[in-house]
Amino acid sequence: MSAKINFIIDGQQCQSEEGKFLVDAAKDNGVYIPTLCNYEGLKPKGSCRICTVKINGRFTTACTSPVHDGMNIENNTAELNEMRKQIIELLFVSGNHFCPACEKSGDCELQALAYRYKMMAPRFPFAFPQKEIDASHPKIIKEQNRCILCKRCIRGIKDEDGKSYFAYQYRGKDSLVVVDRKLAAEMTMEKAQEAMDICPVGSIIVREKGWEIPIGERKYDNAPIGSDIENK
């Protein structure tokens, strides 16, 4: 077992194993650092930037930063929370997110973060991009309007040979995460559910199984995102 090290988050003394990623080390100490592209069991990428903190005064992503002895971390500050709110607003205006009509409402991490950081109307103009819904696969629907391009599905949903069911297509503003038609044709119901669960928003939806849990009884309806960590 690695040696325990000491570090500080927002003035709170914390302990962890040397080298553990900061989001996880913070979690062990009852401190919530928000994430979107990060997912337990997957190699962190630091692409969404929502977990940005300041370590010894420098901005960095908490999901890719291992903790070391003596680190001084700022997390829950007005500056960082404002930056997180701006990222959330940008994600909302760059896609087409209509929460009341989304199967993932109440289970959606983006929506839950918008509530946490008190987003009202985004300050940026809506892009209203023209995106297709791909309903051509037997087990899942890929709703491109809601995809935030976090790549959790590409990194996490694979077949037994390690081939990913999802892939990136195009670049820049035209970027899309698409479904491998051949693999999707063989997709099991369990894999489809896994794909829906790994997606932080409602971009991967299992077919013919909607609204099993009513709105009002879903994950974030009664327990805001992060509260499970903070109330441990």
> Binding ligand SF4 by CB under 6 A: which of 177, 179, 183, 206?
177
* For ligand SF4, the closer CB: 94 or 227: 94
CA 86 to chain centre: 15
Nearer to ligand SF4 by Cβ, of 169 and 222: the residue is: 169
Pick between residue 13 and residue 174 the one whose CB is nearest to ligand SF4.
Answer: 174
Angle separating helix axes 109-116 and 78-94, nearest 10 degrees = 140
By rule CB under 6 A, what count of residues binds ligand SF4?
A: 15
Q: Which residues, 145 to 174, sit near ligand SF4 by CB under 6 A?
A: 147-153, 166
Question: Which residues are within 8 A (CB) of 214 and not within 5 positions of it... i.e. 6 or more apart?
Answer: none
CB of 89 to ligand SF4, least distance (A): 17
Query: DSSP per residue over 26-38, as a string?
Result: HHHTT-----SS-
d(Cα 31, Cα 54) in Å, to the nearest integer?
A: 15
> What are the backbone angles phi and psi of residue 103, rounded to the nearest 5°?
-60, -25
Give the tokens for residue 59: 């901005």
CB 41 within 8 A of CB 60: no
- The least CB distance from residue 150 to ligand SF4, in Å, is 4
Q: Does 201 bind ligand SF4 (CB under 6 A)?
A: yes
- Which CB, 104 or 116, lies closer to ligand SF4? 104
Regarding 203 and contact with ligand SF4 (CB under 6 A), the answer is yes
Between the alpha carbon of residue 228 and those of residues 28, 62, 80, 219, 232, the distances in Å are 11, 19, 21, 11, 6
Shortest Å, Cβ 160 to ligand SF4: 20
Cα–Cα distance for residue pair 30/97, rounded to 1 Å: 31
Asked if 199 touches ligand SF4 (CB under 6 A), the answer is yes
43-82 mask for ligand SF4 (x: CB under 6 A)? ----------------------------------------
Q: In the complex, what is the shortest distance from the CB of residue 94 to ligand SF4, in angstroms, rounded to a whole number?
A: 12
DSSP state of 3: P
Interacting residues toward ligand SF4 by CB under 6 A: 147-153, 166, 177, 198-201, 203-204
